Amino acid sequence: MLNKFLNLNAYHKAHLFDPLHEKEINREKLPRVLPPSLARLELSGEKYIDIPREVFDIYSKYRPTPLYRARQFEKDIRTNCEIYIKDEGATPTGNHKISSAYLIAYSCKKDGIKTVATETTGNWGIALAMASRRFGIKAVCFMDYESHLERPNRKALMEGFGADVVIVEPPPQQEVKDLLTLSANAAIEFTKRTKGAYYIFGSVYSYFIIPQSVIGLEIKTQLAELNKYPDIVVGTCGGGANLLGTAGVFLADIVDEKRKTVIVSAEAESCPILSEGKMGLYSIDTLKYYPLIHTYGLDGLRDGDYVGGLGSTVVASSVAYFHSTGLIHVNRFSSEEAMKAAEIFHKSEGKLIALETGFTMAAVIKQARENSNKIIVANISSGETDKKFYE
Ligand SMILES: Cc1ncc(COP(=O)(O)O)c(C=O)c1O
């Protein structure tokens, strides 16, 4: 197993800004809102960062996750491209987020933190709950009412791992479109009134993105064992964890080695964060609490179906940076197209994938049909607890 994370902030400096005055936050001030260990990680410009021994030991129980060729899927969508699937469904929580959760919970434990609060549409909360339990920390997860309606089993799963779960309802007589901000605000209100508690965001910030790099680093090694290197890497972008986790090392190779790999992000029609987002200073909350980052933000969500974790109106600064320099391309899909792609994958490969991964698969199908004899790679999260979508 690999023993270092890749930090994309080595390619563009990470700045954080005070939400009240929009002035750059320095190293000394950041630990007021971020656990000190995560604040250090957030501002690090080191290209490679050692995986702490305790976290490495936990990873080694489930990493590297499998990489396999989806031959039946290739056949069913009639492509001569080779499609490789990195199965993050094979992690303890069935999705990519757990690898960040372990590093975050370990860092909080080291900093003496007893309580963490977060927002979730379901998947991330389960990961934080599981990792927090492993390190003896209390997790309090704020889940929006619509995600709870769509994924009713998630609350019990988080509680099963010892987390407290609060379902966040919209304010009376108001329709709320930005569900992540709704629950992030609620988690931050809780953090402010709870002594010693810290708010953790389930994507976007470097402390979350950096540990995701293990996915792409493993893909590169696993493909190298087959004497292959990808031509096209597909991810889907909520806050950017999945996309940068899968594609980060290949973006680095484009810059360092002038590789010609095409990086594609699948986005939801109702949340066109990459194609319509504007560069500026943003945070996920509207309470002027969490640090602002220089990145793309979206003025709100468009009408459309439920998109789970793809409804983030802010992305990681590395996503904005690499998109603005032309290295990340965008394919946009409706939820219906995503669900259809998920069904095709399920029929071909016998694996249920998460709603969000359906968007990835829609882009994989598009790329496989538009290209010839290319090597395509994408990562999947499990949809085993999403079964409602397939009924
Ligand atoms: C399974 C899955 N895929 C993708 C995402 C998108 O978020 P991110 O871009 O942070 O990976 C989420 C977010 O919750 C998710 O649960």
Question: Look-up: residue for tokens 């930090």?
Answer: 7
Cα three-residue angle 152-118-13, rounded to 5 degrees? 130
239 lines ligand 1 (CB under 6 A): yes
Pocket test for ligand 1, best of 87, 97, 234 (most atoms within 8 A of CB): 97
Nearest of 59, 45, 64, 50 to residue 7 by alpha carbon? 45
The reported pLDDT for the residue numbered 391 is 54
Q: Could you tell me what percent of the chain has a pLDDT over 90? A: 91
CA 28 / ligand 1 centre spacing (Å): 31
121 lines ligand 1 (CB under 6 A): yes
Each domain of the chain, given as residue ranges in start order, spans 4-52+97-199, 64-95+213-390
The rounded distance, in Å, linking the Cα atoms of 220 and 377 is 10
User: Residues near 232 by Cβ (< 8 Å), separated by ≥ 6?
Assistant: 81, 261, 262, 263, 264, 367, 371, 374, 375, 376, 377
Instruction: Please answer whether residues 360 and 379 qualify as being in contact, where contact means their C-beta atoms are separated by less than 8 angstroms.
Output: yes
Q: What is the DSSP letter of 154?
A: H
212 lines ligand 1 (CB under 6 A): no
Task: Using the Cα atoms of residue 293, residue 297, residue 301 and residue 306 in order, give the sign of their dihedral.
Answer: negative
Q: What is the DSSP letter of 41?
A: H
The reported pLDDT for the residue numbered 197 is 97
Asked whether residue 26 carries a pLDDT value surpassing 90, the answer given is no
Predicted model pTM: 0.96
Cα separations in angstroms, 128 against 124, 138, 205: 6, 10, 15
The rounded distance, in Å, linking the Cα atoms of 264 and 255 is 16
Q: What is the pLDDT of residues 255-270, one digit of tens each?
A: 999 999 999 999 999 9
Average pLDDT, the chain: 95
Average pLDDT (77-91) is 98
Q: Which fold has domain 64-95+213-390?
A: Rossmann fold (3.40.50)
Q: Could you tell me what percent of the chain has a pLDDT over 70? A: 98
CATH of 4-52+97-199, one of 3.40.50.300, 3.30.110.30, 3.40.50.1100, 3.40.50.620: 3.40.50.1100
Q: Whose CA is nearest to atom 16 of ligand 1?
A: 123
Residue, of 220 and 173, whose pLDDT is higher: 220
Instruction: Please answer whether residues 44 and 7 qualify as being in contact, where contact means their C-beta atoms are separated by less than 8 angstroms.
Output: yes
Same fold, 4-52+97-199 and 64-95+213-390: yes
Average pLDDT (321-348) is 97
Atom nearest to 124 CA in ligand 1:
14
Phi, psi of 44 (to 5 degrees): -70, 140
Asked whether residue 388 carries a pLDDT value surpassing 70, the answer given is no
CA 21 / ligand 1 centre spacing (Å): 31
Nearest of 203, 102, 239, 113 to residue 161 by alpha carbon? 102
The rounded distance, in Å, linking the Cα atoms of 179 and 168 is 9
Q: Whose CA is nearest to atom 12 of ligand 1?
A: 309
Task: Using the Cα atoms of residue 181, residue 360, residue 247 and residue 158 in order, give the sign of their dihedral.
Answer: positive
DSSP states along 289-313: -SPEEEEEE-SSPPS-S--GGG--S
As beta bridge partners, residue 234 has 264, 378
Q: What is the DSSP letter of 70?
A: -
236 lines ligand 1 (CB under 6 A): yes
Residue, of 160 and 388, whose pLDDT is higher: 160
355 lines ligand 1 (CB under 6 A): no
Q: What is the pLDDT of residues 125-176, one digit of tens each?
A: 999 999 999 999 999 999 999 999 999 999 999 999 999 999 999 988 888 8
203 lines ligand 1 (CB under 6 A): yes
Asked whether residue 60 carries a pLDDT value surpassing 60, the answer given is yes
